[in-house]
Structure 1
Amino acid sequence: MKLSEAWLREWVNPPATIEQIAQRLVMGGLELEVEPAVSEPAIGVVVGHITKAERHPQADRLQVCEVDVGEAQKLQIVCGAANARVGLKAPCAKIGARLPGGLAITQAKLRGVDSSGMLCSAKELALAEKSEGLLELDAEAKPGQAIDQYLNFADNILNLEITPNRGDCLSVLGLARDVAALFGVNLKRSASAPVVVEGHQTLKVEIESLEDCPSYAGRIVDRVSPKARTPDWMRERLRRSGIRCIHPVVDITNYVMLELGQPLHAFDADKLVGSVHVRRARAGESVTLLNEQTLVCENRELLICDDKSAVALAGVMGGAASGVSESSTRVFLESACFAPNAVAGTGRRHKVFSDAAYRFERGVDPGLQRQALDRATQLIVQICGGIVQPITQAGRNQPDVISINLRRSRVTQVLGLEIPAKEIEALLTRLGLLLRAEIGDSWAVRVPSHRYDLRIEADLIEEVGRLYGYDRIAAKPYAAQLARQPSQEAQRSSDDLRLALAARGWQEVVNLAFVEPRIQQAVAPQARTIAVDNPIADTQSQMRASLLAGLIPTWLYNRARQQERLRLFELGVCFERDEQGGVIETARIAGLAAGRVLPEQWGSAAREVDFYDVKADLEALLGSALADCRFIADAHPALHPGRCARLERAGKTLGHLGELHPQLRQSLDLPSGAIVFELELAALREVAVPKPAPLSEFPSSRRDLALVVGEEISAEALLQCARQSGGALLREARVFDVYRGKGLAENSKSVALGLHFNDASRTLTLEEIDAASSAIAQALSREFGATIRQ
């Protein structure tokens, strides 16, 4: 939000510079920056009055104007603006003037006619990014007056970032209250002429739910002049607040919103049918807004309706069919308080944003509606004329009274210092709070309606702290002693997993949870994806259902910057819809490896990373949990059919490992294959607690079995069978050789198993070892048709 310093000082004027005011507001919890109203003011530009305008003899689009600049001699200026006409007052740059951007005005001759200056547009004075025609000034502007004085270019703009709980500061009045409280000065009330009600026309207003709309006030203003023009002083204040002028009545509603903090809306009363109703949308009901966007209300949005149809999206934007136009002479002013819950999310859901919605989502003073309505009415009569009709009000006439108990001992405990009771009372009184002393060291504090963020004792203590000054509260060491939580030996932290991968040369990345739908569809085609209502970019319009949807773009980004060898991993949460439409959040860990297996060097031959390189890193990541895990050949839509494995632990699938599918590489135009994995994080954190065991004093024995099996039999299956049939004497079974080639039948291979036998209490006999080896061989033959290789 942007506000003019000059406008603020009309309400409160502490003896401080704008920089000091800004610093005090920042220390009081409001973030803001100060910038000049005009970054580069024009020099030598005055108010000019066109007294004569004739067509240029050599150019149809040019006019030769006679301009009064408050001097004895009028200036002859050639102008090409379409709105240049007799009687118009506009900025005039005289000879020697300098405009923003460095343009110097000199004597010129255009198509054979002398031109002694230049009539200026808003763009040429750096007041707008674009403009059509000359900047038109009020008829009361005095010719010859410097334009920087007339428009007060010496002003400053306060650019504020308001936190969601301080919606009361989204106005000149609200900010002035805070400045007055921080500096301990009085708030000035701007004098305005009282509104005189002359008519008796009213529109009936009905509210369906007071929870959605606690208060609604409205009034008709008749005989409004359609030829009225928004005055320059109001135009400049709106411009400096980032609001463009549209129509005098609309500009007045925006002005009052900025001044008092109450959003208003003006309807063309002649376009309303019957009464005004505040209600939730019916199924399939639609409304066309002022921005010509037609919305279908499928979430029971709050609407403003007449007896025929919806005429506005409550608290967000008015409807096109009932909006004020240049021909409107009878308007109905709406001043309502909509509950934040009734407005929040409506604009974002339909991608409609407005200053009104911004304020209603944060809360609007429920006692401000009549005051704002009277102020807007007074300005309409002053600028546009009109006959004022009585106010129609529905809902609560007075907001609920909020009272909070505040203990002085609690203030001391929370802030860490003892503030005298009288000073606490004085600080809170500055905010308009009413304090009544109770028994003991407490007060009953009555909160004004505009401070709807104050609801509990801690809120009041925060106000005491910021008004007293956080910089005055001395820093002290914590007095509390924190007990360390015992670590769970059976659980590894996420940091342990990060360190395990980092130790093997992997680098962690942190990607946004928003991903490109095209990539997500390729890596997780079966996922129930969640679309983002308001994406920050078209390429980030879905919540990620797979971490690979973020890792692949990161790989491509780094590869485009000459980073050929990459080992990237990420820990994050993935999001999917469940069958009932809810959201499932799953923490996962994923990685992507591409390029050479080792950095470039002379000690070993260059080789691209392959499936087994990444599998080895995963086995290291699993640690002691590896004994419970199995890698099983599997298929995955995003992975190469013959280079993909499923990781299981105790029969539960943890995730997949493999090379990206060739079709995926082709569809995404990937430069090369990459090895990826994605696993559930929770299962990886669980590890077996180590159990001590004595070392055997007796020698181990080894037997080797060279087995001929079918090509489709995995080594993992052979090992599992050997371990299950080896009995208690088998301590370890491992594969130490695989042979294919001469001497073996087609589609066969030889797998050599090394079997280690031991007993901690005695030396095994030859007969026991042979019996155990034979049992393993028989089990392998029975299960897989394995034969001993001759």
Structure 2
Amino acid sequence: MKFSENWLREWVDPGVDRETLCRRLDMIGLEVESVAELGAGLDHVVVAQIVSAERHPEADRLQVCQVDTGHGSVQIVCGAPNARAGLKAPLAQIGAALPNGMAIKAARLRGVESQGMLCSARELGLDQDATGLMELPDDAPVGTPLARYLALPDASIELGLTPNRADCLGLRGVAYDVAASFGRQVAMPAIEPVAAAHDSQRGVRLDAPAQCPRYCGRVVSGIDARARTPVWMAERLRRGGIRPISIAVDITAYVMLELGQPMHAFDQARLQGDIHVRAARAGEKITLLDGREVEVDEGFLVVADDGGAVALAGIMGGLDSRVTDDTVDVFLESAHFVPSAITGRARRLGMHTDASHRFERGVDPELPRLAIERATALLTAIAGGQPGPVVEAVSASHLPNRAPVALRRARIGRLLGVEVADADVERVLSTLGMSVAADGDGWLVTPPSWRFDIAIEEDLIEEVARIHGYDRIPTRAPAGELAPALPGEGRLADSRLRSTLAARGWLEALTFAFVDGTLLDRWLLSGPRVELANPLSAELAVMRPSLLPGLVQALAYNRARQQDRVRLFELGRSFHQKTDNFSGEIDQLALVMAGPADAEQWGAARRPADFHDLKGDLEALIALGGDGRRWQFEPAADVPWLHPGRSARVLRDGVVVGFAGALHPAVQKALDLGSDPVHVAEIELDALRQARVPAATGLSRFPQVRRDIAVLVSDAVAYSALQGAVREAVGELLEDLVVFDEYRGKGLPDGLKSIAMGLILRNPSRTLTDEDADQAVASAVQALNKAFQAELRG
């Protein structure tokens, strides 16, 4: 938001200099980004009129002008293309020192004397326009000091506003904050309703009331569209960062800067029938004021007549219905568009306008009628014309409701650490335009319609704090004792997992949560994906469904830089979408491993790491939970990105919680990882975090019994499956089960293996007999035979 300092002081006089004003604006949260001083160095610069302009005898691009200074005539050599007889422009007389550092002296240009310099706005430091002389109105009094005529000195102050302070995108909102900060009152210009002089009007229909709950329109007939914008208005627009264009357009821009309400003016003769505020139709096209033709869809809101769209609501008007110098009758528009109907629409078209900037953040829903009355008064006073009645369409049920917010005085002291007098609280809030009513231990405060950011008690306390002064709030250390949040014994801390992996030679990595969709294709990771609507780049367009693709990329990066032995792990989240609705996030642990099993040494032969090395490290993590019996590994031949013969599912209590194994050769080739095997694992963290709570028990005084058995079983049967069957068959008598031998080869049929297991049996209440042990062994052998056709080996 950029505005004229002098204009602000007309609304509220803080009684301080510019430096103090700007410092206070910073302190109340309206950050001053820049201050451009205007009018310094304009001594000896006056309003002058060119009486005659003739071509320089020695230069085609120069003119010799006779200029009336109000105190006589002087000769000026000028090269501006717009220098002409009758033009009024600023004249820097001899002795002037301009803001750009130029000192004006008498000079001879190509042999002709020049007694000063006719100036452009840029040379005077008033604007960036250097295309020609600064043209002044025909009624500018010749001889008047330019600074006095343009109400200088002044300053153009630019604020960097946070998105929640949309009310300060108009001078009115800034004035209320300044008034509250300095204990003053806002002197808002009187805006009275302008009586209708005729009955001409245009009907308005709200076809999308949820997006546009209020629309005001008014016909003003018989205006002079060629009327010149008054210098006071043009200068305020320039100092607000807006270049004057024409009287109708300038008035709508002026009201926007003054009140914060964007407006638009249509040529009444170019509209057909009623005005409709509706959703755009798919493929609907409109040519905008900047000359671009855009195609919109149902997500856009348009202002249309019976012939089609004439404006993009809240963004920009249409070219075909614009006001020109030949316009006689105008239709003024002032509406309330909800932020959600405008947000992002301009950006989708590669645009950003003053109107969209305001509507995206929120504009006062009560402002449209006030703004249209203000614009009507200005237009008829400057360009003439006769106004018709204001036509207002309202959907009251869709307008925001400003509910009272309870504010407790005790809560103020508790949050700020300082007591604020009741009178100061009431003064601050009421000066900000709020309705304040005493209520028991505090107040009921109703925010004004333009303060969208006031919704809860803390919002009000923030207003009190920033106006009361953050510098007046003492700095105090927090008091009280904080009880440490200790994790339960039934849950492992992630730090235990990290330290265990680090002790076993693994390094932690952090990778992006966004990945390239084509990378997932190379991993053969199909299925629904969580895609970003507005990604930073195509390579970061999908939320990762697994940590492994990014982690393997990190491994490849290290291998390409001569890191032979790489072991990386990451704790992070994966993102999954099984239906059209987002289904959630999963905390996971991922590991990738490549290179030798051990670091280079003399004590062990060099060998490549294999599946069992990876499984061993996983079992070390599982052991931290103290309940390894609840975990199983089983073959996973159907996981497309894992090697079918060197991979396993990881289960806890029979539920799959992860995978481990070597990458599939086809995937490894697609990822350009070379020929050395790469092993990976991914486990749900919640499963690893679960731990058995330690419980002390006495040593049994009854002896254990061991029985060893060897069974012949198919090579395809995993030991974990045999173990589960034995545990289930024997029950509580089985204290432990160990495998101590596996044999294949001579003496055994092809496709079979011999597994030798030791059953450790104990009854905590009595000594087991041989019959008890024999029965347990028989149950185990029977279960193995039934489930896997295993036979007891003699």
State the TM-score, normalized to the length of structure 2. 0.76
Find the counterpart in structure 2 of residue 678 from structure 1: 682
Say whether residues 1:656 and 2:655 are aligned partners: no
For 2:645 and 2:63, the matched residues in 1 are separated by 84
Question: Which AA in structure 1 matches 2:469?
Answer: G
Find the counterpart in structure 2 of residue 585 from structure 1: 584
For 2:353 and 2:179, the matched residues in 1 are separated by 29
Give the conservation status (yes or no) of the 8 Å contact 1:250–1:266. yes
Deviations 1:604-641 (A, max 9, x none): 76666554444333333333354222222223334444
Cα distance change, pair 676–204 in 1 and its aligned pair in 2 (3 A): same
For 1:699 and 1:373, the matched residues in 2 are separated by 98
Give the conservation status (yes or no) of the 8 Å contact 2:346–2:352. yes
Give the conservation status (yes or no) of the 8 Å contact 1:710–1:747. no
Say whether residues 1:14 and 2:14 are aligned partners: yes
For 1:747 and 1:67, the matched residues in 2 are separated by 114
Deviation at 1:181, TM superposition (A): 0.6
Deviation at 1:655, TM superposition (A): 2.9
For 1:324 and 1:312, the matched residues in 2 are separated by 13
Say whether residues 1:627 and 2:629 are aligned partners: yes
Deviation at 1:294, TM superposition (A): 1.6
Give the conservation status (yes or no) of the 8 Å contact 2:520–2:526. no
Find the counterpart in structure 2 of residue 178 from structure 1: 177
Deviations 1:445-470 (A, max 9, x none): 55433334445555444433332234
Task: State, as a whole percentage, how many aligned pairs show the same letter.
Answer: 39
For 2:715 and 2:606, the matched residues in 1 are separated by 29
- Secondary structure in 1 aligned to 2:14? coil
Cα distance change, pair 193–489 in 1 and its aligned pair in 2 (3 A): closer
Say whether residues 1:331 and 2:335 are aligned partners: no
- Secondary structure in 2 aligned to 1:273? coil
Say whether residues 1:296 and 2:297 are aligned partners: yes
Cα distance change, pair 52–629 in 1 and its aligned pair in 2 (3 A): farther
Give the conservation status (yes or no) of the 8 Å contact 1:590–1:676. no
For 1:540 and 1:303, the matched residues in 2 are separated by 34
Give the conservation status (yes or no) of the 8 Å contact 2:643–2:661. yes
Structure 1, gaps ≥5 residues long = 106-114
Find the counterpart in structure 2 of residue 138 from structure 1: 135
Find the counterpart in structure 2 of residue 528 from structure 1: 528
Give the conservation status (yes or no) of the 8 Å contact 1:586–1:680. no
Question: Which AA in structure 1 matches 2:723?
Answer: L
Give the conservation status (yes or no) of the 8 Å contact 2:100–2:125. no
For 2:389 and 2:280, the matched residues in 1 are separated by 29
Give the conservation status (yes or no) of the 8 Å contact 1:367–1:399. no
Deviation at 1:239, TM superposition (A): 7.0
Aligned pair partner of 1:688 in 677, 685, 692: 692
For 1:498 and 1:723, the matched residues in 2 are separated by 32
Moved more, 500-509 or 395-404: 395-404
Deviations 1:258-300 (A, max 9, x none): 3311122333333322112334567x58464735332221x6x
Find the counterpart in structure 2 of residue 162 from structure 1: 162
Find the counterpart in structure 1 of residue 264 from structure 2: 265
- Max Rg structure: 2
- Secondary structure in 2 aligned to 1:373? helix
Q: Cα RMSD between the aligned structures?
A: 5.7
Equivalent positions of 1:51-66 (< 5 A) are 63=61
Deviation at 1:584, TM superposition (A): 0.8
Deviation at 1:650, TM superposition (A): 2.5
State the TM-score, normalized to the length of structure 1. 0.76
Give the conservation status (yes or no) of the 8 Å contact 1:90–1:134. no
Give the conservation status (yes or no) of the 8 Å contact 1:706–1:750. no
Structure 2, gaps ≥5 residues long = 105-113
Question: Which AA in structure 1 matches 2:434?
Answer: L
Aligned pair partner of 1:714 in 700, 706, 718: 718
Moved more, 261-270 or 378-387: 378-387
Give the conservation status (yes or no) of the 8 Å contact 2:736–2:760. yes
- Secondary structure in 2 aligned to 1:293? strand
Say whether residues 1:427 and 2:428 are aligned partners: yes
For 2:530 and 2:234, the matched residues in 1 are separated by 44
Question: Which AA in structure 2 matches 1:693?
Answer: T
Find the counterpart in structure 1 of residue 640 from structure 2: 637
Deviation at 1:309, TM superposition (A): 3.4
Find the counterpart in structure 2 of residue 215 from structure 1: 214
Cα distance change, pair 277–418 in 1 and its aligned pair in 2 (3 A): same
Question: Which AA in structure 1 matches 2:420?
Answer: I
Give the conservation status (yes or no) of the 8 Å contact 1:197–1:389. yes
Cα distance change, pair 395–722 in 1 and its aligned pair in 2 (3 A): closer
- Secondary structure in 2 aligned to 1:315? coil
Matched positions, count: 771
Say whether residues 1:201 and 2:189 are aligned partners: no
- Secondary structure in 2 aligned to 1:263? coil
For 2:341 and 2:7, the matched residues in 1 are separated by 32
Say whether residues 1:450 and 2:450 are aligned partners: yes
Cα distance change, pair 98–523 in 1 and its aligned pair in 2 (3 A): farther
Give the conservation status (yes or no) of the 8 Å contact 2:726–2:784. yes
Find the counterpart in structure 2 of residue 473 from structure 1: 473
Deviation at 1:697, TM superposition (A): 5.5
Moved more, 593-602 or 180-189: 593-602
Equivalent positions of 1:162-561 (< 5 A) are 162-164=162-164, 166-189=165-188, 200-207=199-206, 212-222=211-221, 249-250=248-249, 252-279=251-278, 284=282, 286=284, 288=286, 290=288, 292-297=293-298, 302-319=301-318, 322-324=321-323, 330-340=329-339, 343=342, 354-378=353-377, 380=379, 388-395=387-394, 406-408=407-409, 411-412=412-413, 415-437=416-438, 442-443=442-443, 445=445, 447-455=447-455, 457-475=457-475, 487-492=487-492, 497=497, 501=501, 504=504, 506=506, 513-523=513-523, 525-548=525-548, 550-551=550-551
Give the conservation status (yes or no) of the 8 Å contact 1:707–1:786. yes
For 1:566 and 1:355, the matched residues in 2 are separated by 54
Find the counterpart in structure 2 of residue 110 from structure 1: none
